[in-house]
């Protein structure tokens, strides 16, 4: 009848795992959320309910735990590559995999008298380090990044010069609060990378450029952040951003003879501006299907 199964993937989403490195009395913890998705010869279960090739999602979850026990977690990229290779290399019916690892931040508690504690931790900010590894046969693409890096500038941001088209009522400003929650993903060229070092450096560049750029638009801030990351990191093919403009509106108190020289702001929830763009190296290799499985534009 001319209808058939197209692209499909399946797996176990959001395996919540904490790994404790107890090799010394000074423990280290790695808190991750792992989503494992497999791609391959799975038409039968769709068409007839024959599960003889299906690696149960429960088994995928167990595998995540077992590999963490056998090899540790390491960086998110290492762990995602390990699980992707385990499934694709180990099972004939698995031709590809998409493995996502989110790394949640914790900080060591600093006690009054003892300094940094050796096994007590406090949760850090909502900022999360992310990676999605897409393996298609022998091809491996690593997208790494971060979400929920919420940043704000209390000055050094303008917005004007936009055209007065119909239904425009926004007033131009040369001093506003600029705030956003950065989601960024960058695509690596190859997999021989010092993942932790690369991540830390890119993150610092994004913060530097956000803080130090005198902004004429959130687009401009976004672009300069991405350009600087690509310039400093030849291992990157591309970087994408999704940056909501978290509007802060100056409260008008003039009705009551009060001025408000950019001091008191209302923080709005919705709607919000949303700026999304890719900055790309001209000779970047093709991305394949790496971006297909991530949320929205990035």
Cα–Cα dist 229/146, whole Å: 14
The least distance separating its own copies from the CB of residue 192, rounded to whole angstroms, comes to 21
Instruction: Please pick, from the candidates 8, 89, 190, 288, the single residue that binds its own copies as defined by CB under 8 A.
Output: 8
Point out which span in 74-82, 115-123, 137-145, 188-196 binds its own copies (CB under 8 A): 115-123
Q: Rule CB under 8 A: say whether 136 interacts with its own copies.
A: no
DSSP string, 181-249: EEEEEEEESSS---HHHHHHHHHHHHHHHHHH--BS-HHHHHHHHHHHHHHH-TTEEEEEEEEEE--EE
- By rule CB under 8 A, what string of x and - marks binding of each residue 211-240 to its own copies? xx--xxx-xx-xx---x--xx------x-x
Cα–Cα dist 75/171, whole Å: 46
Q: Give the number of residues written for the chain.
A: 298
12 given a catalytic annotation: yes
**Residue closest to 186 by CA, chosen among 227, 145, 226:** 145
Cα–Cα dist 166/169, whole Å: 9
The least distance separating its own copies from the CB of residue 194, rounded to whole angstroms, comes to 18
131 given a catalytic annotation: no
Q: Rule CB under 8 A: say whether 24 interacts with its own copies.
A: no
The least distance separating its own copies from the CB of residue 29, rounded to whole angstroms, comes to 6
Q: Rule CB under 8 A: say whether 95 interacts with its own copies.
A: no
Q: Show contacts with its own copies in window 27-86 (CB under 8 A).
A: 27, 29, 31, 35, 37, 42, 45-59, 61-63, 65-66, 68-70
State the number of binding residues for its own copies (CB under 8 A). 146
Contact 132, 143 (CB under 8 A): yes
123 given a catalytic annotation: no
Closer residue to its own copies in complex, CB, 138/164: 164
Q: Rule CB under 8 A: say whether 272 interacts with its own copies.
A: yes
Point out which span in 75-83, 136-144, 150-158, 190-198 binds its own copies (CB under 8 A): 150-158
From the candidates 57, 95, 150, 191, which is the catalytic residue?
Answer: 57
The least distance separating its own copies from the CB of residue 255, rounded to whole angstroms, comes to 6
The least distance separating its own copies from the CB of residue 89, rounded to whole angstroms, comes to 13
Closer residue to its own copies in complex, CB, 127/136: 127
Q: Rule CB under 8 A: say whether 117 interacts with its own copies.
A: yes
Contact 227, 284 (CB under 8 A): no
What is the C-alpha radius of gyration for the chain, rounded to an integer number of angstroms? 23
Which residues, including other chains, have CB under 8 Å from residue 296's CB and lie 6 or more apart?
242, 276
CA distances from 54 to 45, 46, 97, 156, 221 (A): 7, 11, 14, 55, 46
Q: Show contacts with its own copies in window 159-188 (CB under 8 A).
A: 159-163, 165-170, 177, 181
Cα–Cα dist 296/36, whole Å: 19
* Residues belonging to the active site: 12, 57, 247
């Amino acid at each position: 009848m001319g209808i058939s199964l197209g692209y499909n993937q399946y797996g176990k989403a959001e395996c919540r795992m904490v790994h404790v490195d107890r090799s010394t009395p000074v423990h280290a913890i790695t808190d991750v959320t792992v989503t494992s998705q497999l791609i391959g010869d799975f038409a039968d279960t769709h068409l007839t309910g024959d599960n003889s090739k299906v690696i149960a999602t429960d088994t995928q979850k167990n595998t995540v735990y077992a590999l963490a026990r056998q090899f540790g977690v390491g960086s998110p990229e290492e762990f995602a590559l390990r699980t992707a290779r385990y499934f694709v290399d180990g099972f004939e019916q698995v031709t590809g995999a998409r493995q996502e690892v989110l790394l949640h931040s914790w900080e060591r508690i600093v006690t009054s008298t003892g300094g940094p504690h050796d096994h007590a931790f406090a949760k850090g900010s909502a900022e999360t380090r992310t990676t999605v590894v897409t393996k298609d046969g022998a091809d491996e693409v690593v997208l790494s990044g971060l979400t929920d890096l919420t940043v704000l500038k209390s000055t050094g941001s303008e917005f004007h010069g936009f055209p007065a088209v119909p239904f425009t009522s926004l007033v131009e400003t040369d001093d506003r609060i600029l705030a956003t929650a950065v989601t960024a993903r960058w695509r690596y060229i190859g997999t021989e990378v010092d993942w932790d070092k690369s991540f830390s450096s890119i993150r610092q560049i994004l913060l530097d450029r956000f803080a130090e750029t005198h902004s004429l638009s959130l687009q401009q801030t976004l672009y300069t952040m991405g350009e600087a990351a690509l310039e400093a990191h030849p291992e990157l093919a591309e970087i994408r951003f999704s940056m909501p403009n978290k509007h802060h509106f100056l409260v008008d108190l003039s009705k009551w003879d009060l001025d408000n020289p950019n001091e008191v702001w209302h923080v709005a929830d919705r709607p919000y501006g949303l700026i999304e763009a890719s900055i790309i190296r001209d000779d970047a290799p093709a991305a394949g299907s790496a971006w297909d499985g991530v949320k929205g534009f990035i």
